[in-house]
Structure 1
């Protein structure tokens, strides 16, 4: 990184000296930097720190007032990498091509960063008895090994419970001029998501349990409070007290015990049916939910007991339910802001279901002609389920969602903490213990997004191979890599 400096000349005889000084200092600095780099020293001091506005002691106020304007100023003045003082910490902002390096390098830990800022690891450990120091690897394995392979099945189940809960909740609101007035959509989506998540994670029996639903929603409120410390400056004393509260009081244990009480009779009944099937020499039809799969793989995941299983389930619930409710709420606000899109999306929805219904009817006729039975999955009553096949045909909906994600994300997000000194491809070394944050603006408002990147264009991605579920260097709402 180079800097230019100029000095006024006092006389012609001093001009050569003044001209040579910056050059000589530059050579000396380069030699010192080379020596430090060879010795493995940190080069964080080479990353420029953004200046403060007059009267500001941190960048928090300027960032909150206008994130785009703040980052535009910093990028213009300092380039793709610079330091800021946010949330009570000195943080390095990473932009451009170095973003992928952060995500793909195991030496950068998002878990460590959020533990430092929020105490999230301590918070989660108050719920579980095992796997305390695994960076949530067990949770990741459950998602990849159990949830992802069954997404097609779970999608239909989720839809059913979302619709049932939505009909029930909206019926409680007053109607004015044939319109339903909802003051705040978040509680509705939180309850809808709780029922859907309960059906997928713990089975249909749990989805009907008021105790389970209440536990899920109460735990989400605790989870949201924990994240308050990552979105504003919090004193070290408060953070320390926050972690101590988690260690001593274990607030999530109350929710874990509620889940244990609710699931124990369900599990006992399942075991009774399994034993009865074994005695009769028939195969037991295993429930298709995450809890059953976790119990079946009890030793593989190193669980201790049912409380431990419920603790891990609760962590899954917290991470999925909070994000699902938040995204659904944001989606409604974007639809309200662009009401002309609603009719277009509804027509696309109906047309996609019509096509799927025709395809399923054709499959049924082919089975009948071949003399084969029609399985439950092809029953006509399921023709208009919002299946994975139907969703793939809703290209405008997918584009709207991707564009919503592009605008929804915080401009600085996805914190990581360096576990070792890490050398980036541009030659800069991020020192061990340093926190970095991704400049989402540089990815989501870059040239790859097409024209008018600062405007919400709902059909921006129609006809392009850019699905709302696929991460890439220009689409990072879910992060990248592990």
Structure 2
């Protein structure tokens, strides 16, 4: 694969030109469709958009999933990190990445399959394996893949069908639960009462099977393996890196902690005012206004954390690899600069040319966590100056769920711990500049607030 580096205005030109394809480039590098087709029975034609549609549809349920994610994340952090038994002592986590990924695998199993199915240890192991499959595909692949290597990879997937094995395990665990759901739904319909519908992704995908073209439960579970595994490995990478940034820039911890408390105080006061108004008007106070949930990490509370959002956007901007996001030319293209990209050749973006420019400030080479706090540029806001999630119609639809999960993760960390330290200080620079999906091997010390 011939490779041309593009910079500055040429990047936008390539991103908005339909003659260039990012998905075809990813396929040529990772052979990812061969992995998908080793398990799914439908949507096997290359170029279908079912995975993207599922991601977008899942994002719509974020308000429903958020309380569950918050509860599971808080429990997961308590189990994975805990607190030092000594006052002022530190709790060392020697391997943050697998700890975080294990927590996220459990979260994804619960919101995609429901708590009953997620209780099965085989299910948790299977989602973990699915996340490992995808991580290997994106880490071990080289831009310059030989035809022989690509042939071997595809042959291996056809012979061993790893995704099919994942789907079969999940389907076996899900079958009795799905049958019981159908029984209860039929019983409710016969009795003329409302059925208490499970609010997990599995139920939505089963109800919309014809829309997505799924053939059976195994097929549904293959797609769940892809989605849950992808979210787990992608979010675990960035969440781990966030820990290193909080340790490398300790002044961020208190600022973020103060914002979290101020936001939760404001939400709590507003909810109490609403309850008082309800009492004055004689209205019943429903479960949604239960004081026990006043300080939850809700969608509304997370949305108000503008300094947290700025911190995340700056972590992405500062950390992102300088050469990334490959596009394949589907026909001969002449760029405005006069450079000719021939059909079958690839271009790779020099993101430094847009992420480290005066547009971000004269100090764009430095890490400035509050750079975007007053600029109304959120961590999900894409554009020619921020290529973390792509641009235009090809932008990553999973960014909304990822960013909300990362904001929640960061809010819990700064709320529970007053200071973080990298176990090996000499690895600090390597930690904050680590390659995507390739975290370094040093631990983190967590100093508890209480």
**Does the alignment reach a TM-score above 0.5?**
yes
> 1:256–1:372: structure 2 CA closer, same or farther, 3 Å change rule?
same
CA distance in 1, matches of 2:343, 2:84: 54
Deviation for aligned residue 1:423 = 4.2
Name 1:343's counterpart in structure 2: 254
Coordinate RMSD, CA, aligned: 2.1
Equivalent residue in structure 2 for 1:286, among 177, 181, 197: 197
Equivalent residue in structure 2 for 1:140, among 29, 45, 52: 52
Equivalent positions of 1:226-237 (< 5 A) are 226-231=137-142, 235-237=146-148
Q: TM-score, normalised by structure 1?
A: 0.77
Equivalent pair of 2:325/2:348 in contact (CA under 8 Å): yes
Deviation for aligned residue 1:389 = 1.3
Deviation for aligned residue 1:234 = 5.1
Equivalent pair of 1:111/1:121 in contact (CA under 8 Å): no
Equivalent residue in structure 2 for 1:306, among 217, 232, 248: 217
Name 1:107's counterpart in structure 2: 19
CA distance in 1, matches of 2:27, 2:60: 30
CA distance in 1, matches of 2:87, 2:125: 30
1:219 and 2:97 aligned: no
CA distance in 2, matches of 1:105, 1:209: 47
> 1:172–1:222: structure 2 CA closer, same or farther, 3 Å change rule?
farther
Partner SS, residue 325 of structure 2: strand
Equivalent pair of 1:128/1:308 in contact (CA under 8 Å): yes
Q: TM-score, normalised by structure 2?
A: 0.82
CA distance in 2, matches of 1:390, 1:476: 26
Deviation for aligned residue 1:172 = 9.8
Name 2:118's counterpart in structure 1: 207
1:329 and 2:240 aligned: yes
Equivalent pair of 1:413/1:438 in contact (CA under 8 Å): yes
Deviation for aligned residue 1:299 = 0.7
Q: Flag structure 1 segments of 5+ consecutive residues without an equivalent.
A: 1-88
Partner SS, residue 460 of structure 1: coil
Equivalent positions of 1:56-135 (< 5 A) are 89-135=1-47
Equivalent pair of 2:84/2:90 in contact (CA under 8 Å): no
CA distance in 2, matches of 1:277, 1:429: 65
Equivalent pair of 2:127/2:228 in contact (CA under 8 Å): yes
1:248 and 2:162 aligned: no
CA offset digits 1:165-206 (Å, max 9, x no partner): 121222499979621101110011101111221222222223
Equivalent pair of 1:175/1:181 in contact (CA under 8 Å): no
Instruction: Name which structure has the greater RCO, CA cutoff 8 Å, separation 6+.
Output: 2
Deviation for aligned residue 1:112 = 1.3
> 1:224–1:309: structure 2 CA closer, same or farther, 3 Å change rule?
same
After TM superposition, the runs of 4+ consecutive aligned structure 1 residues lying more than 6 A away are: 172-176
Q: Flag structure 2 segments of 5+ consecutive residues without an equivalent.
A: 395-450
Partner SS, residue 300 of structure 1: helix
Name 1:476's counterpart in structure 2: 387
Equivalent pair of 1:159/1:196 in contact (CA under 8 Å): no
CA distance in 1, matches of 2:10, 2:145: 29
CA distance in 2, matches of 1:374, 1:451: 52
Name 1:435's counterpart in structure 2: 346
CA offset digits 1:5-26 (Å, max 9, x no partner): xxxxxxxxxxxxxxxxxxxxxx
Partner SS, residue 2 of structure 2: strand
CA distance in 1, matches of 2:120, 2:191: 31
CA offset digits 1:396-419 (Å, max 9, x no partner): 111111110012211111112122
Deviation for aligned residue 1:429 = 4.1
> 1:174–1:296: structure 2 CA closer, same or farther, 3 Å change rule?
same
**How many residue pairs are counted as aligned between the two chains?**
393
Name 1:367's counterpart in structure 2: 278
